[in-house]
């Protein structure tokens, strides 16, 4: 992309003065006033500003991103040259953000004429425009052409140029309000193409053997159901079973089951028996000798409760997960950040108004943390986890959430915060009832969920994280006292673990140079069982230590 015009402005003060006034592209106003960055992590250079506090940034591919002082941003040109064509040719461009080529030439010319007449009441623009165009070598385009350039540029803003507040992580709003296609349309586009190929009898092995193509094809079949699809659905079902239990495997089983063919019962049973996860995930499926009507009834019930034929009914995480698998990483990231922003804003409003936060946000936040980690976006995962922690009322859940928070803070290099989080975790271990909403134990009402943490995997993870924080934070000499304190605490916690658990952790610590807990300790699954009256029942005496990250 050309930056010819920008070089000329920097080299010729007279042209730079014309660009600054009356066209409001001022090279001396390149300080935006707050730290911002692209969600994608791409390069961003502030090159100019205007008298309203807005800033013009050049992105890695040469595109120009404009961010105003009110928290909105948008691409206004594919290059500095193109952006200046728009700014010089449409000095009232802020008023045209809602215009599109589809509005027609008459409406566009009328809007531009009205705005420019208002500008001329205060200062000239015509001679100045002619001079600046000539000086920069910019072509003379009609208002209709320029609106077309601006409109096309604005639509490119998201996902690749989503602008964030660098400190807080929230996204800027779009500069324009033009409608965009929903996420599911982009995700389903390849799936629909592949479904057509399957129906034509081609690319069966290519589609079925590639999870990134097979899953969207199954989703396309979910929303475009045809009687003749049964053979290809059987084929996709067999291959999806190789990925173990997925939502798409359950969907494939439902789509096959809805046809109500008795000969499919053995196939469905075979798929269910693939492994323990599929056996659990496809529970309730009729046995191989069941009546076909029973199969159809089972499939219909699951279809009604989990799937259906409207893509807008699917959870966001269905589409972000599939987008990630297809390599549409920035599309997934942008959608997840927008959802997190919504939850964050609601939490702010609830706190301001003295209301309790909607508990439904807790499960979404947990999913957001997981999805951001899948995208290797620890910054946003940490942001979501900070909102998640205060929503946990039970002692076990609070400790698990604090442990995950400490890990994310450590991975982001926020060692002081991680040390403080681990201190809060130890406080909860010492006083499980502090901060709980209501008692979860029996009888006295006290929270007994942490009664035997020393024998569980959670206990091992807590000790591992203390040592990991102490080791990584040791590079920060300003935290020397805090590092010593967390090291002492780690030793005390290690001493409290059961004998076998302590030996496993010590062996693991001796054999690794870094600890990265890939396991998500937010769930009790396989780590803790309510002990009831017998304090030894269901307690894991030999926790599996977390494995080092492959990275």
pLDDT > 80? residue 511:
no
Q: What is the mean pLDDT of residues 152-172?
A: 97
In which band, very low, low, confident or very high, does the pLDDT at 254 lie, cut at 50, 70 and 90? very high
Task: Tell me the two tokens of residue 381.
Answer: 């995962």
Pairing of strands 72-77, 173-174: parallel
Task: Tell me the two tokens of residue 463.
Answer: 């000790």
Q: Locate tokens 């000086």: which residue?
A: 135
CA distance 543 to 171: 41
> 110-119, 365-374, 451-460: lowest mean pLDDT where?
451-460
Q: For 425, how many CA atoms within 13 A lie in the half-sphere containing its CB?
A: 29
**Backbone region of residue 245 per phi and psi (left: phi > 0; alpha: psi in -120 to 50; beta: other values):** beta
Q: What is the mean pLDDT of residues 302-320?
A: 97
Q: Looking at residue 446, what is its pLDDT?
A: 81
Residues listed for the chain = 551
pLDDT > 50? residue 361:
yes
For the stretch 411-425, pLDDT in tens is 999 999 999 999 999
Q: Locate tokens 């658990």: which residue?
A: 501
Edge-to-edge order in the sheet of strand 55-59: 44-49, 55-59, 64-67, 72-77, 173-174
Q: Looking at residue 535, what is its pLDDT?
A: 33
Of the chain, the percentage scoring pLDDT greater than 70 comes to: 90
Q: Looking at residue 541, what is its pLDDT?
A: 36
Q: What is the mean pLDDT of residues 148-168?
A: 97
> 46-50, 271-275, 479-483, 544-548: lowest mean pLDDT where?
544-548
Burial of 142-158, coded b for 16+ CB within 10 Å and e otherwise, reads: ebbebbbbbbebbbbbb
**pLDDT, the chain, mean:** 90
Task: Tell me the two tokens of residue 300.
Answer: 């219909």
pLDDT > 90? residue 405:
yes
CA distance 336 to 183: 11
Task: Tell me whether the omega of the peptide bond preceding residue 494 falls within 30 degrees of 0, making it cis.
Answer: no
What SS3 state is found at 77? strand
Q: Looking at residue 518, what is its pLDDT?
A: 40
In which band, very low, low, confident or very high, does the pLDDT at 445 lie, cut at 50, 70 and 90? low
For the stretch 7-57, pLDDT in tens is 999 999 999 999 999 999 999 999 999 999 999 999 999 999 999 999 999
* DSSP classification of residue 201: T
Using alpha carbons, select from 386, 434, 543, 419 the residue that is nearest to residue 490: 419
For the stretch 187-232, pLDDT in tens is 999 999 999 999 999 999 999 999 999 999 999 999 999 999 999 9
CA of residue 145 relative to chain centroid, distance: 36
What SS3 state is found at 537? coil
In which band, very low, low, confident or very high, does the pLDDT at 447 lie, cut at 50, 70 and 90? confident
Q: What is the mean pLDDT of residues 102-117?
A: 97
Task: Tell me the two tokens of residue 385.
Answer: 């986890």
Q: Looking at residue 351, what is its pLDDT?
A: 87
CA distance 321 to 323: 5
Using alpha carbons, select from 540, 543, 528 the residue that is nearest to residue 464: 543
What SS3 state is found at 525? coil
More confident residue, 86 or 545: 86
Query: Sign of the CA dihedral 109, 111, 117, 122?
Result: negative
Task: Tell me the two tokens of residue 341.
Answer: 């922003």
DSSP letter string, 25-74: -BGGG---SS-EEETT---EEEEEE-TTS-EEEEETTS-EEEE-TTSEEE
Q: What is the mean pLDDT of residues 249-278?
A: 96
Pairing of strands 44-49, 72-77: unpaired
Of the chain, the percentage scoring pLDDT greater than 90 comes to: 84
Helix locations, 204-328, DSSP H: 204-208, 211-223, 230-240, 247-257, 265-272, 276-281, 292-306, 316-325
pLDDT > 80? residue 545:
no
Q: Looking at residue 438, what is its pLDDT?
A: 44
Q: Looking at residue 436, what is its pLDDT?
A: 62
In which band, very low, low, confident or very high, does the pLDDT at 387 lie, cut at 50, 70 and 90? very high
Secondary structure (H, E, C), 306-319: HCCCCHHHCCHHHH
């Amino acid at each position: 992309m050309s930056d010819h015009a920008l070089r000329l402005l920097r080299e010729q003060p007279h042209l730079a003065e014309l660009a600054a006034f009356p066209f409001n592209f001022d090279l001396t106003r390149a300080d935006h006033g707050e730290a911002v960055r692209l969600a994608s992590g791409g390069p961003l250079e502030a090159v100019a500003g205007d008298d309203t506090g807005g800033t013009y940034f050049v992105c890695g591919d040469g595109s120009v991103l404009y961010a105003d002082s009110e928290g909105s941003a948008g691409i206004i040109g594919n290059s500095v040259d193109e952006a200046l064509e728009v700014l010089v040719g449409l000095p009232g461009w802020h008023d045209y953000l809602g215009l599109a080529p589809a509005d027609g030439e008459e409406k566009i010319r009328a809007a531009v004429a009205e705005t420019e007449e208002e500008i001329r009441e205060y200062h000239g623009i015509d001679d100045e425009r002619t001079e600046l165009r000539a000086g920069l070598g910019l072509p003379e385009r009609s208002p209709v052409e320029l609106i077309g350039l601006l409109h096309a540029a604005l639509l490119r803003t998201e996902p690749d140029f989503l602008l964030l507040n660098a400190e807080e992580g929230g996204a800027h709003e779009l500069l324009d309000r033009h409608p965009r296609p929903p996420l599911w349309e982009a995700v389903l586009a390849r799936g629909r193409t592949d479904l057509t190929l399957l129906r034509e009898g081609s690319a069966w092995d290519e589609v079925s053997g590639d999870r990134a193509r097979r899953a969207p094809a199954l989703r396309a079949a979910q929303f475009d159901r045809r009687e003749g699809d049964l053979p290809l659905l059987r084929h996709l079902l067999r291959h999806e079973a190789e990925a173990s239990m997925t939502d798409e495997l359950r969907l494939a089983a439902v789509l096959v089951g809805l046809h109500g063919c008795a000969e499919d019962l053995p196939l469905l049973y075979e798929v269910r028996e693939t492994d323990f996860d599929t056996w659990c995930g496809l529970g309730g499926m009729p046995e191989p000798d069941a009546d076909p009507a029973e199969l159809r009834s089972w499939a219909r019930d699951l279809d009604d409760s989990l799937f259906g034929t409207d893509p807008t009914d699917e959870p966001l995480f269905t589409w972000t997960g599939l987008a990630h698998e297809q390599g549409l990483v920035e599309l997934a990231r942008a959608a997840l950040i927008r959802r997190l922003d919504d939850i964050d804003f609601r939490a702010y409003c609830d706190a301001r108004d003295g209301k309790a936060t909607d508990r439904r946000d807790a499960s979404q936040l947990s999913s957001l943390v997981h999805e951001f980690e899948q995208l290797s976006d620890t910054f946003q995962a940490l942001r979501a986890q900070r909102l998640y922690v205060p929503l946990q009322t039970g002692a076990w859940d609070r400790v698990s959430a604090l442990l995950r928070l400490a890990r994310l803070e450590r991975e982001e290099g926020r060692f002081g915060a991680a040390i403080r989080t681990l201190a809060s975790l130890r406080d909860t271990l010492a006083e499980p009832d502090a901060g709980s909403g209501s008692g979860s134990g029996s009888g006295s009402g006290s929270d007994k969920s942490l009664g035997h943490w020393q024998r569980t995997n959670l206990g091992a993870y807590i000790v591992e994280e203390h040592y990991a924080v102490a080791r990584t934070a040791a590079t920060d000499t300003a935290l020397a006292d805090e590092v010593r304190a967390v090291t002492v605490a780690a030793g005390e916690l290690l001493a409290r673990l059961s004998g076998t658990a302590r030996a496993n952790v010590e062996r693991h610590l001796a054999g690794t140079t870094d600890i990265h807990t890939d396991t998500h300790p937010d769930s009790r699954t396989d780590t803790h069982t309510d002990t009831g009256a017998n304090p030894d029942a269901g307690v894991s005496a030999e926790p599996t230590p977390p494995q080092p990250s492959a990275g």
